[in-house]
Amino acid sequence: MGPFVAECLVVGANGFIGSHLVDELASLGHEVTAFDRFSSQRTAYRSPGVRQIAGDFMNHSDVSDAVAGQQYVFHFVSTTTPATAENDPTLDVRTNIASSIELFQHCVDAGVQKVFFASTGGAIYGNHTGTSFSENTLPMPVSPYAIGKLAIEGYLRYFGVKYGLESISFRISNPYGPGQRANKKQGVIPIFLSRLSQGLPLTMLGDGSMVRDYLYVGDAVRMIAHTVGRPSSESVYNIGSGSGTSVRQLLEVVESVTGRVPDVVVKPVPSTFLDRVVLDVDRYRGEFGYDSFVSLEDGISQTWAQLMETSQ
């Protein structure tokens, strides 16, 4: 019996996580279709033999055509970022949530076997006491972006009950790595490294004690791809490293890796930011197993090297 091969559609294939996921799925031998606007000439993934479809996530016929004939659909596109959703909370409802519901209906109509959704692993839980969040922690999101992600998870449950559409929502912690664009204003690591490369000061919110679970993108996509073709007992899994790093500790690692000492500007912490986000990944590990995490030092080193290479 040969290796398991599936027809996989990645929606948002030219984005940061989506492009790495395309490469990971292709490396495992799956037949991958990449769907995105591809508005820039640059293709973020590197794998040859990937079928590319240029289309708009908010266009009915584009999405319907892309979904046709697919076994697995990876919903890894977002029309908003935490910042844009906060500036216009109804934008997330009108675009992200509405288009996600339409995507799931297209999946039902096309006979898709399973949908994999990139949810958020930090903001979705809100402010809770304790050392880490498990999937059993009551989600209490306070940001429009995370409220939207939780709503999409809910619609997947609805499509499961009503139509039998299988799904997994991955609550991903703070992913970082090569190819993450600082101009998206999402992700402190790419922002820090980009500004350092330009000799600009770094902004620290509060006293630097804010803790996050930073996950190298290679680990994130390996964990996600590892679930393809395997039965899952749950519909929600945390995807994180399971360990926390404060902003102050992060600055020390960045300084050590780059050899550059940044000027740091301190600003107040926005009211919707959480003090501590570390994910408990025992549910995922117990079912699928994963222990070979890239260290923060190695991950930032690889990210910095790629940034230096592309800025030459």
pLDDT digits (tens, 9 = 90+) for 143-178: 899 999 999 999 999 999 999 999 999 999 999 999
Q: How far is 280 from 147, CA to CA, in rounded Å?
A: 20
Measure Cα distances from 309 to 10, 79, 146 in Å: 27, 29, 34
The pLDDT confidence band at residue 130, using thresholds 50, 70 and 90, is confident
Task: Count CB neighbours of 245 within 10 A.
Answer: 18
**pLDDT reported for residue 46:** 95
Percent of the chain with pLDDT over 70: 98
Decide if pLDDT at 41 tops 80: no
Residue 257 lies in a domain: no
CATH number at residue 227: 3.40.50.720
All residues at 6 or more sequence positions from 41 whose CB lies less than 8 Å from its CB, including other chains: none
Measure Cα distances from 26 to 6, 168, 230, 271, 296 in Å: 10, 20, 17, 41, 26
Measure Cα distances from 9 to 37, 63, 71, 171, 252 in Å: 14, 11, 8, 20, 39
With beta carbons less than 8 A apart as the criterion, state whether 279 and 239 touch: yes
Per-residue pLDDT of 72-121, as tens digits, reads 999 999 998 888 888 899 999 999 999 999 999 999 999 999 999 999 99
Residue 271 lies in a domain: no
Q: For residue 14, which of 77, 96, 58 has the smallest C-alpha distance?
A: 77
Can you list the positions of beta strands (E) in 113-190? Answer: 114-120, 166-172, 174-176
Residue 263 lies in a domain: no
**Greatest pairwise CA separation for the chain in angstroms:** 59
The pLDDT confidence band at residue 265, using thresholds 50, 70 and 90, is very high
Measure Cα distances from 238 to 13, 97, 188, 241 in Å: 21, 21, 20, 9
Burial group, residue 37, by CB count within 10 angstroms (0-12, 13-18, 19+): middle
The domain tally of the chain equals 1
Residue 110 lies in a domain: yes
**pLDDT reported for residue 189:** 96
Q: How far is 116 from 282, CA to CA, in rounded Å?
A: 19
pTM beyond 0.85: yes
Residue bearing the bigger pLDDT, 111 or 183:
111
Decide if pLDDT at 27 tops 80: yes
Edge-to-edge strand list for the sheet holding 114-120: 51-54, 31-36, 7-11, 72-75, 114-120, 166-172, 236-239
**pLDDT reported for residue 99:** 97
Q: How far is 20 from 305, CA to CA, in rounded Å?
A: 17
The pLDDT confidence band at residue 310, using thresholds 50, 70 and 90, is confident
Decide if pLDDT at 138 tops 70: yes
What's the domain range around 75?
A: 7-179+214-240+276-291
Residue 265 lies in a domain: no
Residue 266 lies in a domain: no
